[in-house]
Structure 1
Amino acid sequence: REPQTLARACDLGIAMQLTNIARDVGEDARAGRLYLPRCWLREAGVDPEGLLARPGATPALKSVVARLLREADVLYTRARRGIAQLPLPCRPAILAAALLYAEIGRELEGRYALDSITQRARVGGARKLALVARAGFASPWLSGGAPLPPLDAAMFLIEAIARHPGRPLREADDGALPQFLRVLEIFERLERAERYGD
């Protein structure tokens, strides 16, 4: 509940949401939704209404998607400082979640050539396992670094938590590995639900 840690948690949540937005541009447009910043679209020469009417993976749209992923990457980097402030048993699961979501952006940039209109970027099973292993090995060695100010957009959350302190969290009775596996199971269920409408 420490404000710096909460600020970094907000960074991670926003980074993950930006990654989702970048990955789902086509799906969202076909459903009549547009989450990309309209001012960025206009700066790139993309008509927002035209995008909704006729989604296409144009170079201009790809530049906006790339810009959104760069913003997410800045936030993933900031978030790692907060992961370092978490209790050691929590770190692997949260770092794995951060790495897995950031990897969606890498896939979108690489294999999918920033085309989130005609295809949906996914991370393969082997790569997921490698990232989970990396999180397990790297999480004890993360460092917090100097404090960073919270994002303006997240201040209301941090202030709300400060006004309403909850009861202290207790250490988990069942250890870090089961917690870690539960977080991964949640991500797998979410991905299945997105893919198959479960």
Structure 2
Amino acid sequence: MPQPWFDDLSWRGAAAARADLAACRALLRHGSKSFHAASLLLPERVRMPASALYAFCRVADDAVDLTTDRAAGLARTRDRLDRAYAGAPLPHPVDRAFARTVARHSIPRALPEALIEGLAWDAQGRRYETLSDLLGYAARVAGSVGAMMSLLMDARDADAMARACDLGAAMQLTNIARDVGEDAAAGRLYLPLAWLREAGLDPEAWLRAPVASAPLRGVVRRLLDEAGRLYDRGLCGLAALPPDCRPAIAAAGAIYAEIGRHIAAAGYDSVATRAVVTARTKLRLAAGSLTAVAARQRPALADPPLPELRYLVEVATVSRAPMIPARASGVPWWELRARLLWSLEILARRRSDVRGAVT
């Protein structure tokens, strides 16, 4: 039986759309391994558009990060966004799948525009004086993705959206803590400059000779503490999601939080080493996510969104209802368990693809 995402297409159109999505999945299998692993736990109605969304984000990031002419890369990305929202995407699988996703799920254009604004800040080499400034960046490059994922799951109320943005920002802070040495080698510095000065470090001097001194490790630990606070807030939003979506989001949060635990185990030295989460550990965390969700649901959190994330919530919650009617969310746990076991089997077969660093 055709899935709802293809219901309005002819047989030929549905086949072409499936081919586009297969191309998106292939891109993510190698370029966004953590998402690819966690997404196997999503129901197909969410996994398909989520793959299109993440593939577009991956292509946009590469257009800025992997080119010598970042301004041109940004211009091309903005043009691709214009075309997608005009319903005339470029003849590329990712663009076609993304255009269909934003139309079918009523994703406000301001959300992918926020992501592109964050990429523009990367291109400018922008640095961040305070944690609030850094959270403004995290809101754009990761909170926006969390908000879009919430829309794909039809969790559109303000509290659910706020928690999705919290979780996205937590993951971004974890990425920054993990990549301190790698970023420094490329002349990039994302740690709050005020924190470095408070620790007795001159940002420019440290960047010229980056070492994992005790003060620097303290700053990394401080950043991971902030990420932990955001994980706690974000995962309180699981209750607002359809039951069959919760294990995947719990798994994604667990995999990223594990990066922080690896950094801590290395004495918060993310200059000389880069934390990795092995395929075996990902499998264990994915399995544990279902047990945790089934056994104990975190209480819902109705706290307002953080100031740096508020505008994303406001934009997302005024969007109109999706074109696809919401399905009943009462999925039996034994069906979720069967899906998890199937996903773990697929992951095990692909261990060679996901071995190495979490990206």
**Interval of TM-score (by shorter of Structure 1 and Structure 2):** 0.7 to 0.9
Corresponding residue number in structure 2 for 1:122: 276
Cα deviation for residue 144 of structure 1 reads 2.9
1:157-172 map, 5 Å: 157-167=312-322, 170-171=326-327
Where 2:159 maps in the other structure, the secondary structure is helix
Cα deviation for residue 125 of structure 1 reads 2.6
Cα deviation for residue 146 of structure 1 reads 4.3
* Larger RCO (CA within 8 A; separation ≥ 6): 1
The yes-or-no answer on 1:61 pairing with 2:216 is: yes
Corresponding residue number in structure 2 for 1:106: 261
Match for 2:311 among 150, 156, 169?
156
1:57 maps to a residue whose letter is A
Alpha-carbon deviations, 1:134-156, whole Å to 9, x = none? 10111133133341121111111
Where 2:210 maps in the other structure, the secondary structure is coil
* Distance in 1 between residues matched to 2:352 and 2:157, nearest whole Å: 30
Cα deviation for residue 181 of structure 1 reads 4.3
The yes-or-no answer on 1:50 pairing with 2:205 is: yes
Asked if the contact 1:29/1:51 (under 8 Å) is kept, the reply is no
Corresponding residue number in structure 1 for 2:183: 28
Worse-matched range after superposition: 124-133 or 163-172:
163-172
Match for 1:139 among 259, 277, 293?
293
| Cα distance change of structure 1 residues 80 and 189 upon mapping to structure 2, 3 Å threshold | farther
- Percent identical pairs in the alignment equals 46
| Cα distance change of structure 1 residues 71 and 195 upon mapping to structure 2, 3 Å threshold | closer
Asked if the contact 2:228/2:257 (under 8 Å) is kept, the reply is yes
Asked if the contact 2:277/2:357 (under 8 Å) is kept, the reply is no
Asked if the contact 1:108/1:116 (under 8 Å) is kept, the reply is yes
| Cα distance change of structure 1 residues 126 and 195 upon mapping to structure 2, 3 Å threshold | closer
| Cα distance change of structure 1 residues 128 and 193 upon mapping to structure 2, 3 Å threshold | closer
Where 1:93 maps in the other structure, the secondary structure is helix
2:187 maps to a residue whose letter is G
| Cα distance change of structure 1 residues 28 and 12 upon mapping to structure 2, 3 Å threshold | same
* Distance in 2 between residues matched to 1:122 and 1:89, nearest whole Å: 28
Where 2:263 maps in the other structure, the secondary structure is helix
Asked if the contact 1:5/1:85 (under 8 Å) is kept, the reply is yes
The yes-or-no answer on 1:84 pairing with 2:205 is: no
2:163 maps to a residue whose letter is R
| Cα distance change of structure 1 residues 143 and 167 upon mapping to structure 2, 3 Å threshold | same
Instruction: Give the TM-score taking structure 2 as reference length.
Output: 0.48
Cα deviation for residue 161 of structure 1 reads 1.1
The yes-or-no answer on 1:38 pairing with 2:219 is: no
* Distance in 2 between residues matched to 1:191 and 1:22, nearest whole Å: 21
1:74 maps to a residue whose letter is R
* Distance in 1 between residues matched to 2:280 and 2:357, nearest whole Å: 20
Q: Which has the larger radius of gyration?
A: 2
* Distance in 2 between residues matched to 1:161 and 1:14, nearest whole Å: 16
| Cα distance change of structure 1 residues 40 and 168 upon mapping to structure 2, 3 Å threshold | farther
| Count of residues in correspondence between the two structures | 189
| Cα distance change of structure 1 residues 194 and 134 upon mapping to structure 2, 3 Å threshold | closer
Instruction: Give the TM-score taking structure 1 as reference length.
Output: 0.85
Worse-matched range after superposition: 139-148 or 53-62:
139-148
Cα deviation for residue 192 of structure 1 reads 7.2
* Distance in 1 between residues matched to 2:352 and 2:174, nearest whole Å: 18
Please, which runs of 5 or more residues in structure 1 have no aligned partner? Answer: none
Q: CA RMSD in A?
A: 2.8
